[in-house]
Chains A and B, each alone.
Chain A
Protein backbone atom coordinates (compact mmCIF):
# COMPACT_ATOMS: atom_id res chain seq x y z
CA UNK A 1 0.00 0.00 0.00
CA UNK A 2 0.83 3.68 -0.09
CA UNK A 3 3.25 5.15 2.47
CA UNK A 4 3.54 8.90 2.99
CA UNK A 5 6.35 10.46 5.00
CA UNK A 6 6.16 14.11 6.08
CA UNK A 7 8.97 16.35 7.40
CA UNK A 8 9.59 18.16 9.61
CA UNK A 9 7.22 17.18 12.41
CA UNK A 10 7.54 20.65 13.97
CA UNK A 11 8.53 23.95 12.40
CA UNK A 12 8.93 27.32 14.08
CA UNK A 13 9.43 30.50 12.05
CA UNK A 14 9.37 34.24 12.60
CA UNK A 15 6.46 36.20 11.22
CA UNK A 16 7.23 37.19 7.64
CA UNK A 17 9.59 34.28 7.00
CA UNK A 18 8.86 31.39 4.64
CA UNK A 19 7.95 27.86 5.69
CA UNK A 20 8.49 24.68 3.68
CA UNK A 21 7.02 21.25 4.45
CA UNK A 22 8.04 18.18 2.45
CA UNK A 23 6.33 14.86 1.78
CA UNK A 24 7.37 11.72 -0.04
CA UNK A 25 5.12 8.93 -1.28
CA UNK A 26 5.74 5.40 -2.47
CA UNK A 27 2.91 4.36 -4.81
CA UNK A 28 3.27 5.47 -8.43
CA UNK A 29 -0.53 5.03 -8.79
CA UNK A 30 -1.07 8.11 -6.59
CA UNK A 31 -2.08 11.02 -8.77
CA UNK A 32 -3.69 13.63 -6.51
CA UNK A 33 -1.96 15.41 -3.63
CA UNK A 34 -3.99 17.67 -1.30
CA UNK A 35 -2.72 19.69 1.64
CA UNK A 36 -4.88 20.31 4.71
CA UNK A 37 -4.64 22.76 7.60
CA UNK A 38 -6.03 21.68 10.96
CA UNK A 39 -6.45 23.99 13.93
CA UNK A 40 -6.68 22.50 17.41
CA UNK A 41 -9.88 20.49 17.88
CA UNK A 42 -11.18 21.41 14.43
CA UNK A 43 -11.69 19.59 11.16
CA UNK A 44 -8.97 19.56 8.47
CA UNK A 45 -9.51 22.24 5.83
CA UNK A 46 -8.19 21.93 2.28
CA UNK A 47 -5.76 24.73 1.50
CA UNK A 48 -4.28 23.68 -1.84
CA UNK A 49 -3.97 20.59 -4.02
CA UNK A 50 -2.04 19.42 -7.07
CA UNK A 51 -2.54 16.70 -9.64
CA UNK A 52 0.15 14.52 -11.14
CA UNK A 53 0.05 16.25 -14.54
CA UNK A 54 1.06 19.58 -12.96
CA UNK A 55 4.46 20.52 -11.50
CA UNK A 56 3.55 23.59 -9.50
CA UNK A 57 0.46 25.44 -8.30
CA UNK A 58 0.20 28.74 -6.46
CA UNK A 59 -2.58 30.47 -4.54
CA UNK A 60 -1.56 33.81 -3.06
CA UNK A 61 0.99 33.06 -0.29
CA UNK A 62 0.73 29.28 -0.67
CA UNK A 63 2.35 27.11 -3.33
CA UNK A 64 2.79 23.41 -3.88
CA UNK A 65 5.39 21.68 -6.04
CA UNK A 66 5.39 18.08 -7.24
CA UNK A 67 8.25 15.94 -8.53
CA UNK A 68 6.65 12.77 -9.88
CA UNK A 69 9.95 11.14 -10.76
CA UNK A 70 11.31 11.50 -7.25
CA UNK A 71 7.87 10.95 -5.69
CA UNK A 72 7.93 14.00 -3.50
CA UNK A 73 5.86 17.15 -3.10
CA UNK A 74 6.24 20.24 -0.96
CA UNK A 75 4.15 23.02 0.55
CA UNK A 76 5.58 26.53 0.55
CA UNK A 77 4.10 29.34 2.63
CA UNK A 78 5.56 32.80 2.14
CA UNK A 79 5.21 35.88 4.35
CA UNK A 80 3.96 33.76 7.23
CA UNK A 81 1.49 35.25 9.72
CA UNK A 82 0.56 34.15 13.26
CA UNK A 83 -2.79 32.86 11.95
CA UNK A 84 -0.86 30.37 9.79
CA UNK A 85 0.00 28.52 13.03
CA UNK A 86 -1.65 25.09 12.83
CA UNK A 87 -0.97 21.47 11.94
CA UNK A 88 -0.52 20.83 8.22
CA UNK A 89 -1.12 17.44 6.62
CA UNK A 90 -0.14 16.19 3.19
CA UNK A 91 -1.91 13.31 1.51
CA UNK A 92 -1.46 11.10 -1.53
CA UNK A 93 -4.59 9.82 -3.28
CA UNK A 94 -4.69 6.73 -5.45
CA UNK A 95 -6.13 6.77 -8.93
CA UNK A 96 -7.69 3.79 -10.66
CA UNK A 97 -11.01 2.19 -11.42
CA UNK A 98 -14.07 1.29 -9.39
CA UNK A 99 -13.66 -1.32 -6.66
CA UNK A 100 -9.92 -0.73 -6.41
CA UNK A 101 -8.19 1.74 -4.16
CA UNK A 102 -9.30 4.64 -6.36
CA UNK A 103 -9.97 7.74 -4.29
CA UNK A 104 -8.25 6.35 -1.21
CA UNK A 105 -6.02 8.89 0.54
CA UNK A 106 -3.00 8.19 2.74
CA UNK A 107 -1.99 11.02 5.07
CA UNK A 108 1.35 12.08 6.46
CA UNK A 109 1.76 12.41 10.21
CA UNK A 110 1.49 16.19 10.14
CA UNK A 111 3.71 19.23 10.73
CA UNK A 112 3.02 21.60 13.59
CA UNK A 113 3.82 25.08 12.32
CA UNK A 114 4.32 27.88 14.83
CA UNK A 115 4.67 31.45 13.57
CA UNK A 116 6.15 33.75 16.18
CA UNK A 117 5.04 37.39 16.09
Chain B
Protein backbone atom coordinates (compact mmCIF):
# COMPACT_ATOMS: atom_id res chain seq x y z
CA UNK B 1 0.00 0.00 0.00
CA UNK B 2 2.77 2.41 0.80
CA UNK B 3 3.81 2.36 -2.86
CA UNK B 4 0.63 4.08 -4.05
CA UNK B 5 0.16 7.75 -3.35
CA UNK B 6 -2.75 10.06 -4.06
CA UNK B 7 -2.86 13.81 -3.84
CA UNK B 8 -4.31 15.98 -2.60
CA UNK B 9 -5.98 14.44 0.44
CA UNK B 10 -8.83 16.97 0.18
CA UNK B 11 -9.89 18.88 -2.94
CA UNK B 12 -12.48 21.57 -3.36
CA UNK B 13 -14.17 22.21 -6.68
CA UNK B 14 -16.11 25.28 -7.76
CA UNK B 15 -19.02 25.18 -10.20
CA UNK B 16 -17.89 24.72 -13.80
CA UNK B 17 -14.33 23.87 -12.81
CA UNK B 18 -12.28 20.89 -13.92
CA UNK B 19 -10.05 19.35 -11.26
CA UNK B 20 -7.36 16.68 -11.52
CA UNK B 21 -6.62 14.01 -8.93
CA UNK B 22 -3.14 12.55 -8.88
CA UNK B 23 -2.27 8.85 -8.50
CA UNK B 24 1.31 7.58 -8.53
CA UNK B 25 2.73 4.11 -7.86
CA UNK B 26 6.30 2.88 -7.55
CA UNK B 27 5.39 -0.81 -7.49
CA UNK B 28 6.11 -1.37 -11.19
CA UNK B 29 2.48 -2.44 -11.63
CA UNK B 30 1.04 -2.59 -15.14
CA UNK B 31 -2.63 -2.08 -14.25
CA UNK B 32 -4.24 0.89 -12.53
CA UNK B 33 -7.81 1.73 -11.55
CA UNK B 34 -9.99 4.61 -10.37
CA UNK B 35 -12.99 4.08 -8.10
CA UNK B 36 -15.60 6.36 -6.64
CA UNK B 37 -17.04 5.67 -3.18
CA UNK B 38 -20.15 7.42 -1.91
CA UNK B 39 -21.11 7.32 1.80
CA UNK B 40 -22.39 3.93 2.84
CA UNK B 41 -21.81 2.44 -0.58
CA UNK B 42 -19.34 0.18 -2.31
CA UNK B 43 -16.66 1.06 -4.81
CA UNK B 44 -17.72 1.86 -8.36
CA UNK B 45 -15.21 1.66 -11.19
CA UNK B 46 -14.67 4.86 -13.17
CA UNK B 47 -11.78 3.96 -15.50
CA UNK B 48 -9.07 1.34 -15.62
CA UNK B 49 -5.85 0.82 -17.51
CA UNK B 50 -4.42 -2.61 -18.19
CA UNK B 51 -1.16 -1.23 -19.55
CA UNK B 52 0.55 2.08 -20.22
CA UNK B 53 -0.90 4.16 -23.09
CA UNK B 54 -4.23 2.33 -22.91
CA UNK B 55 -7.35 2.61 -20.76
CA UNK B 56 -11.01 1.54 -20.75
CA UNK B 57 -14.21 3.01 -19.37
CA UNK B 58 -15.58 1.50 -16.22
CA UNK B 59 -19.17 1.52 -15.03
CA UNK B 60 -19.51 5.27 -14.31
CA UNK B 61 -17.12 7.03 -16.72
CA UNK B 62 -19.41 9.92 -17.71
CA UNK B 63 -18.02 13.27 -16.58
CA UNK B 64 -14.51 11.89 -15.98
CA UNK B 65 -11.36 11.56 -18.09
CA UNK B 66 -7.98 9.88 -17.60
CA UNK B 67 -4.59 9.49 -19.23
CA UNK B 68 -1.89 6.84 -18.88
CA UNK B 69 1.22 8.29 -20.49
CA UNK B 70 3.57 6.84 -17.87
CA UNK B 71 3.46 3.45 -16.20
CA UNK B 72 3.61 4.93 -12.71
CA UNK B 73 0.96 7.63 -13.16
CA UNK B 74 -2.80 7.54 -13.80
CA UNK B 75 -4.36 11.00 -13.20
CA UNK B 76 -8.13 11.43 -13.09
CA UNK B 77 -9.84 14.63 -14.23
CA UNK B 78 -13.29 15.40 -12.88
CA UNK B 79 -14.87 17.62 -15.51
CA UNK B 80 -17.66 20.18 -15.17
CA UNK B 81 -19.93 17.62 -16.85
CA UNK B 82 -19.88 15.56 -13.64
CA UNK B 83 -22.80 17.17 -11.81
CA UNK B 84 -22.45 15.35 -8.51
CA UNK B 85 -18.71 14.92 -7.93
CA UNK B 86 -18.69 14.94 -4.12
CA UNK B 87 -17.23 11.56 -3.11
CA UNK B 88 -14.17 9.69 -1.89
CA UNK B 89 -11.94 8.78 -4.85
CA UNK B 90 -9.69 5.75 -4.59
CA UNK B 91 -6.90 4.78 -6.94
CA UNK B 92 -5.59 1.22 -7.06
CA UNK B 93 -2.96 -0.75 -8.92
CA UNK B 94 -2.28 -4.41 -9.58
CA UNK B 95 0.73 -6.24 -11.01
CA UNK B 96 -1.27 -6.94 -14.17
CA UNK B 97 -4.61 -8.12 -15.55
CA UNK B 98 -3.70 -11.78 -16.11
CA UNK B 99 -4.62 -14.60 -13.73
CA UNK B 100 -2.43 -14.39 -10.65
CA UNK B 101 -1.71 -10.69 -11.19
CA UNK B 102 -5.11 -9.18 -10.36
CA UNK B 103 -4.76 -8.35 -6.67
CA UNK B 104 -5.45 -4.65 -6.31
CA UNK B 105 -3.75 -2.40 -3.75
CA UNK B 106 -5.31 0.93 -2.89
CA UNK B 107 -3.99 4.41 -2.35
CA UNK B 108 -5.10 6.52 0.63
CA UNK B 109 -7.83 8.32 -1.33
CA UNK B 110 -8.83 11.88 -2.19
CA UNK B 111 -11.96 13.42 -0.78
CA UNK B 112 -13.56 15.81 -3.30
CA UNK B 113 -15.99 18.44 -2.09
CA UNK B 114 -17.98 20.96 -4.09
CA UNK B 115 -18.04 24.57 -2.94
Known A-B contacts A32-B99, A43-B109; the reply to A103 vs B43 at CB < 8 A is no
Query: Is A57 in contact with chain B by the CB < 8 A criterion?
Result: no
Query: Is B63 in contact with chain A by the CB < 8 A criterion?
Result: no
> Which one of B14-22, B73-81, B89-97 is at the A interface?
B89-97
With a cutoff of 8 Å between Cβ atoms, the chain B residues found around residue A43 in the complex are: 1, 90, 106-109
The contact string, 1 if C-beta is below 8 Å from chain A, for chain B 10-44, is 00000000000000000000010101000011111
Residues of A within 8 A of B (CB-CB), count: 27
Known A-B contacts A1-B59, A103-B50; the reply to A109 vs B41 at CB < 8 A is yes
Which one of A34, A42, A103, A104 has the greatest number of beta carbons of chain B within 10 Å?
A103
Query: Is A18 in contact with chain B by the CB < 8 A criterion?
Result: no
Query: Is A44 in contact with chain B by the CB < 8 A criterion?
Result: yes
With a cutoff of 8 Å between Cβ atoms, the chain A residues found around residue B31 in the complex are: 103
Select B106's contact among A44, A51, A106, A108, beta carbons within 8 Å.
A44
Query: Is A85 in contact with chain B by the CB < 8 A criterion?
Result: no
The contact string, 1 if C-beta is below 8 Å from chain B, for chain A 4-43, is 0010000000000000000000000001101000000011
Q: Describe B's contact surface by its main secondary structure.
A: loop
27 A–B contacts, CB within 8 A, in A order: A1-B59, A32-B99, A32-B103, A34-B104, A43-B90, A43-B106, A43-B108, A44-B43, A44-B90, A46-B104, A91-B43, A93-B102, A95-B99, A99-B54, A102-B50, A102-B97, A102-B98, A103-B48, A103-B94, A103-B96, A103-B101, A103-B102, A105-B102, A107-B43, A108-B42, A109-B42, A110-B40
B residues bordering A, Cβ < 8 Å? 1, 31, 33, 35, 40-45, 48, 50-51, 54, 56, 58-59, 90, 94, 96-99, 101-109
